[in-house]
């Protein structure tokens, strides 16, 4: 077993071995520009198009509806600003939630400075949005609804299909940030009834620096950057061929191993929770609703134990993250936990533990032992 045991897969994942092998030849030997008409150019173009088809297959869309970007943040920017700018003649109202990643909320804040009106919907104690609140927030000038598929901190899965039906009935574009859900739960764009969906490569065993945006055919969108015609002019610039190939392969592997990965992530997350509860008992509080949660995510507070103290105490043995930020001795709790109504004490005691597709029993048992020991010492 390698130490420290990594249990922060919602932060990022390692590049899958098969993904790395697929990328390698394009680092040196196959160096052509996909826009060139000679053979090494065409080979690169074909590789990019193969990757596009692999991504499309995972989320059940047409390859021409996939646009490669540099990351999920860029995909969210393209989706939200792109829809806002292309449809501002129809209206300037956007609906989102109070628990989105900054890659959505900061874009919305920027739009509000540009004269757009943003509604931030509340969530219940489990971090879930009520679709009825979405319906009630719709106005004549609403042009976009952007609600994340699953939350990065607590793992809560939103009722995307129900919201999608509401959006469709009202003819409003619907975007979901699926950075955390792709590869972990089903993300079929037709079943979810979404018009735009964000993918983050490095959360599903592709390397960092690559993302994608699904844009349903017929969606009115404006590009953020201007240049030559790559990605049908929606996201121009010479393609990041190597990373695009990586994302394609990662999607192929994710689709092939979907059931097995999901089962393993969930079995290890559940074993971890069972271990903690059996040894620490009633001092363990789970945030969110495990029945409606990503299979790999556990947001948990240990009564009277500072999350920062715990994470740093065990960091040479086990890597986890916290639900709060600590700068110059001051603790700021996460906006997600605040929106769920957690009090400061519990939010400051919250850690996020997220398992991966290869997390094994030995690692989990070691993590339980390490955390339990630390909680006892820090109490
Ligand atoms: C839900 C969600 N959206 C967007 C992002 C941003 O991803 P990136 O930093 O790769 O652009 C993250 C990363 O943690 C995320 O969890």
Report the pLDDT averaged over residues 9-38.
97
Smallest Cα–Cα separation from 252: which of 69, 19, 79?
Answer: 19
Distance 203 CA to ligand 1 centre (A): 8
DSSP lists the bridge partners of residue 145 as 95, 174
Place of tokens 């002019």: 233
Extract the runs of DSSP E, i.e. beta strands, from 132-172: 142-146
Residue ranges, CATH 3.40.640.10, the chain = 17-256
Per-residue pLDDT tens over the stretch 246-290: 999 999 999 999 999 999 999 999 999 999 999 998 789 999 999
In this predicted structure, the answer to whether residue 220 has a pLDDT above a threshold of 90 is yes
CA distances from 280 to 196, 286, 307, 355, 377 (A): 43, 13, 16, 20, 12
As a whole-number percent, the residues of the chain with pLDDT over 90 amount to 96
pLDDT value for 379: 87
pLDDT value for 324: 66
User: CATH classification of 17-256 is 3.20.20.100, yes or no?
Assistant: no
CB 299 within 8 A of CB 7: no
Residue nearest ligand 1's atom 16 by CA? 152
pLDDT band of 326, cuts 50, 70, 90: low
Catalytically active residues, by annotation: 326
Residues 6+ apart with CB under 8 A from 306: 331, 348, 349, 378
Half-sphere exposure of 23 (CA within 13 A, CB side): 21
Report the pLDDT averaged over residues 213-240.
97
99 lines ligand 1 (CB under 6 A): no
CA distances from 139 to 83, 144, 222, 237, 259 (A): 16, 11, 22, 37, 40
101 lines ligand 1 (CB under 6 A): yes
Residue ranges, CATH 3.90.1150.10, the chain = 5-12+258-378
Element (H, E) at 200: strand 196-200
Per-residue pLDDT tens over the stretch 227-247: 999 999 999 999 999 999 999
In this predicted structure, the answer to whether residue 327 has a pLDDT above a threshold of 70 is no
- Give the residue ranges of DSSP H helices in 155-295: 160-169, 189-192, 241-256, 258-280
pLDDT value for 155: 97
* Three-state SS at 78: helix
pLDDT band of 332, cuts 50, 70, 90: confident
In this predicted structure, the answer to whether residue 328 has a pLDDT above a threshold of 70 is no
CA triple 255-175-45, angle to 5 deg: 55
Report the pLDDT averaged over residues 43-57.
98
Report the pLDDT averaged over residues 133-154.
98
Fold of 5-12+258-378: 3.90.1150
Per-residue pLDDT tens over the stretch 343-375: 999 999 999 999 999 999 999 999 999 999 999
Report the pLDDT averaged over residues 139-165.
98
Smallest Cα–Cα separation from 352: which of 326, 318, 329?
Answer: 318
Atom number in ligand 1 closest to CA 72: 11
CA 324 from centroid of its chain's CA atoms: 19
Q: Within a 10 A sphere around the Cβ of 124, how many other Cβ atoms?
A: 14
**DSSP symbol at 203:** G
Instruction: Select from 73, 80, 199, 297 the residue to mutate for testing ligand 1; criterion: most ligand atoms less than 8 Å from CB.
Output: 73
């Amino acid at each position: 077993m390698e130490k420290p045991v990594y249990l922060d897969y919602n932060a990022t994942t390692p590049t899958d071995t098969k993904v790395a092998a697929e990328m390698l030849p394009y680092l040196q030997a196959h160096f052509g520009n996909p826009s060139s008409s000679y053979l090494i150019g065409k080979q690169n173009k074909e590789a990019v198009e193969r990757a596009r088809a692999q991504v499309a297959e995972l989320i059940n869309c047409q390859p021409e509806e996939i646009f490669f970007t540099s990351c999920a943040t860029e995909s969210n920017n393209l989706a939200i600003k792109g829809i806002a700018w292309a449809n501002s003649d129809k209206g300037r109202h956007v609906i989102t939630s109070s628990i989105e990643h900054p890659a959505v909320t900061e874009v919305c804040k920027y739009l509000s400075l540009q004269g757009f009106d943003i509604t931030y919907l509340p969530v219940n104690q489990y971090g879930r949005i009520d679709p009825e609140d979405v319906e009630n927030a719709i106005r004549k000038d609403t042009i976009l609804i952007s609600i994340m598929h699953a939350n990065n901190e607590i793992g809560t899965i939103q009722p995307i299909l129900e919201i999608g039906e509401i959006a469709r009935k009202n003819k409003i574009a619907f975007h979901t940030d699926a950075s955390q859900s792709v590869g972990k739960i089903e993300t079929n764009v037709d079943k979810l009834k979404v018009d735009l969906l964000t993918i983050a490569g490095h959360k599903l065993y592709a390397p960092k620096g690559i993302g994608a945006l699904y844009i349903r055919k017929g969606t009115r969108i404006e590009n953020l950057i201007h240049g030559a015609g790559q990605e049908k002019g929606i996201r121009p610039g010479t393609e990041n061929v190597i990373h695009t190939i990586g994302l394609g392969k990662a999607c192929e592997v994710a689709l092939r191993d979907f059931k097995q990965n999901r089962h393993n992530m969930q079995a290890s997350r559940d074993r971890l929770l069972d271990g903690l509860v059996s040894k620490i008992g009633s001092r363990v509080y789970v945030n969110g609703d495990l029945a409606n949660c990503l299979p790999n995510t556990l947001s948990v507070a240990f009564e009277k134990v500072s999350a920062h103290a715990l994470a740093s105490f065990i960091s040479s043995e086990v890597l986890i993250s916290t639900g709060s930020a600590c700068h110059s001795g001051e603790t700021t709790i996460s906006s997600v936990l605040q929106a769920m109504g957690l009090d400061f004490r519990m939010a400051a005691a919250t850690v996020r533990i997220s398992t991966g597709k290869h997390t094994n029993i030995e690692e989990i048992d070691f993590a339980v032992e390490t955390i339990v020991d630390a909680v006892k010492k820090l109490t």
